[in-house]
Structure 1
């Protein structure tokens, strides 16, 4: 039955497919009949009729095909399904054919079993399909969530990019402002230095003018005295008979300096005690003229401008015998970072410490304890060395920012900054005349500066990294990384002598009597050089002593009898200069390398500082 139905379907399909051919045949036959009917009609007219008929046939074919196209398509689909069912039936028969050969009951049960298994497999496949569909739905849900998260992250990323661009733009503006401020600061600093130089020049001119005015006044007074002497000599008899009462001398008749002298208590006592003698003496007597001359000499001396040394130099305390400390009496963290330098004032009542935190701190020593007094700031980088002048009123410091700074103790802002080195300044010292300072730098130069003009007046090329400098009256002594100590004549800027050592020099110090030079070097020793005979040297060593850095400082005691230096292990070592032996070593209270030490001029205290910002006050009390 299936095969018969299939044949009928194919026959009908062929009929439908042959329909356009039939129509064409009919059209052709109609055209022939038309030709025979009209006979010898015009050939052109017959061609027109043929084309018209063909167009009509094509139009009808197209219209009929459109109407039945969906039906034909559905019919073809039904044919394909029937074909598939025939194939499935054929497969089932091939499976069940062996069973038909057996008994009918067995074949029926086997057919039922095969059908059940197939149904069971269909159910299992449907369940798996459902499971897969559920899993696929979950995956779609996760994909949707991931897409949402991704969109949120992309939105956040866009916001972050916008904020980064805003921050970069802000940083660029700040950088431009900083560059403008830096340029303005440099311009202001140059203008300030120029104004400071012009101010110092104006001050010098003013002092010169005052000196000239004082000289003119003194000359005027001398001419007035000489004129009075000449008038008295013309009438000696009248002058001899005339009595002078100095208590009633009018102010207009005296010199500018005599009223203050006559009003003083000592002048009154002198007049009372010697009044009769002066009244009986003539104005032309040598004693009278000598007193007037002394009077004007006092005025001239009082009007003169004293020198810087006369104004600043005051006698400092002298240490007769330094006391060797044996215990720590005060310990504190003096700075926020490591401490590089420490120095006592000449009067021993003030201590200055400088560190890598860019400041100098001042400390008073009261009852064996360090009490904070104030801070000197102004440096852009860490402090490398500190120096007091002989009066204890001024401080000079070297800095990592390629400059040296100068303070007065009555002002916590630097009075001026000495700039000109191209690398860090390792040392700064006052020269003996107090008008000049000398600085040593890592740029292999030593510079001499005039404090009144705040300008460099001499530059010495020292051939190697300069770690420290000291000054005598005419010489500048420098220590270097090339293991040499060099002596420079400050008047000629020439090297007069070189002293070789075994290690790079870390510090220099000169004895109180300026006869011996102390050096500390990286060969773990201290060398003592006799400045009168430079070939005479003495080395000081100790078990455990080791320089902790290239800037470790060693110094003399204030009486020159001892040497003191700090070690890398935190111990402070003290040697006796007379015997050359180690006098004592102070217990290791420091937790890191000791950078510098200072001994008070009174000989009572020693202070040591280290890299871990700790300062320790030592004494024998």
Structure 2
């Protein structure tokens, strides 16, 4: 085998080895660097990689050190930077339902009760496309990141549609659900779409052909959240039946049913490596699950009202939970202990996210504000004010220098590092 080149993955940090086998075929191998920090020694890490990875020879050490130095620099980006309002986009004639960036952050999409989805240019604020064709609320939207050339929309009209992000053309309409679709996502390879519905099922679809691949049946109540792992080989679904299920994407078989919550599941997510997943519930807890065994390995307590959203940091070492009690909590995945309570919102927190670097937490609330926090110091860094109604959606772009917030005031706002 011969190493052809290194590729970088900034968040979470990693190096991808592109190598050639003797038969001339090209393959990829990832080296995850979850423990890397801005203070790490590139030389020491390079030496460790060379000792343990046969593809990387000592002659590659200078190049490897340069790349590791770039990763360390990226991890420190925007730590102290403040965000300021860049654009206010009056996106739709009726309230928004969701919004999402593409990977580069130069495009984003919005869905609305007005039955449309719109594609926007982030820098100029220009509307690029209006995606029309649904006959009811467009409730969920997503890009096929990291590619960003397609958009999926899920609607209360029981269908999902796939669109060209560059032309606005509808490529496929997926029919098969019996009631409203409330969550939808591409797998990381961009070849499969999952949709979750109030009809108690999720469905898997082929992006290119538009064919239905599998119906994931077994939940006894609405499916409200789903997430692919990074290989695209497994997916989790969270349901109002109090359970999370792990599914094999290729066969459509249920691998595990994760039981233990005493109330409806509101959110669920894999860590980056796909070894664990988390679920939040109206029973006021978040649970950590071992994906291989299906066993609960931790219950995170402390909230005094429903847990509405959960998220890992990029490295998978921390979890943030947002609750109807108006607080967010940060937990250690290793110790399961609460390390920070983020207090400041005056109403429920419906959305939480870590920055790509992991050194900030973003929260969105029905108090009409979004807030940025230091998760280590439990300190409020900024209040993003100006919306006139509940903020239900918020997200960082891939590099962490832009934030989008979506509100029931029919607008979305773009915030950029000052």
Place the TM-score, normalised by the shorter chain, in its bin. Answer: 0.5 to 0.7
Secondary structure, counterpart of 1:298 in structure 2: coil
Alpha-carbon separation, structure 1, partners of 2:379 and 2:21: 62
User: 1:243 matched to which residue of 2?
Assistant: none
Alpha-carbon separation, structure 1, partners of 2:215 and 2:257: 17
Distance change (3 Å), C-alpha of 1:343 and 1:366: closer
Structure with the larger RCO, 1 or 2 (CA within 8 Å, 6+ apart): 2
Which one has a larger percent strand, Structure 1 or Structure 2? Answer: 2
RMSD: 3.5
Contact 2:298 2:336 in 1 (8 A): no
Counterpart of 1:602 (choices 390, 393, 399) is: 399
Please give the TM-score of this superposition, normalised by the length of structure 2.
Answer: 0.63
| Structure 2: stretches of 5+ with no match in the other structure | 1-19, 31-69, 132-151, 159-178
Deviations 1:357-414 (A, max 9, x none): 777x362435342534464446416554455544567654544443445567768887
Alpha-carbon separation, structure 2, partners of 1:395 and 1:298: 33
Q: 2:230 aligned with 1:432, yes or no?
A: yes
Counterpart of 2:286 (choices 478, 485, 489) is: 485
Alpha-carbon separation, structure 2, partners of 1:296 and 1:564: 44
User: 1:365 matched to which residue of 2?
Assistant: 121
Q: 2:322 aligned with 1:520, yes or no?
A: yes
Q: 2:300 aligned with 1:499, yes or no?
A: yes
Distance change (3 Å), C-alpha of 1:514 and 1:453: same
Tell me the CA shift for residue 415 of structure 1.
6.7
Secondary structure, counterpart of 2:23 in structure 1: helix
Query: Which residues of 2 match residues 302-381 of structure 1 at below 5 A?
Result: 320=75, 321-322=77-78, 323-334=81-92, 336-339=94-97, 341-354=98-111, 361=117, 363-369=119-125, 371-373=127-129, 375=131, 376-377=152-153, 379=155, 380=158
Counterpart of 2:331 (choices 520, 523, 529) is: 529
| Structure 1: stretches of 5+ with no match in the other structure | 1-294, 310-316
Larger deviation, residues 510-519 vs 466-475: 466-475
User: 2:56 matched to which residue of 1?
Assistant: none
Query: Which residues of 2 match residues 219-618 of structure 1 at below 5 A?
Result: 297-298=22-23, 301=25, 320=75, 321-322=77-78, 323-334=81-92, 336-339=94-97, 341-354=98-111, 361=117, 363-369=119-125, 371-373=127-129, 375=131, 376-377=152-153, 379=155, 380=158, 384-385=182-183, 387=185, 389-390=187-188, 396-404=194-202, 418-463=216-261, 464-472=263-271, 473-502=274-303, 503-542=305-344, 544-547=345-348, 552-588=350-386, 590-618=387-415
Alpha-carbon separation, structure 2, partners of 1:567 and 1:485: 19
Alpha-carbon separation, structure 2, partners of 1:454 and 1:562: 37
Which one has a larger percent helix, Structure 1 or Structure 2? Answer: 1
Deviations 1:140-185 (A, max 9, x none): xxxxxxxxxxxxxxxxxxxxxxxxxxxxxxxxxxxxxxxxxxxxxx
Please give the TM-score of this superposition, normalised by the length of structure 1.
Answer: 0.44
Distance change (3 Å), C-alpha of 1:477 and 1:394: same
User: 2:148 matched to which residue of 1?
Assistant: none
Query: Which residues of 2 match residues 9-20 of structure 1 at below 5 A?
Result: none
User: 1:138 matched to which residue of 2?
Assistant: none
Distance change (3 Å), C-alpha of 1:296 and 1:479: closer
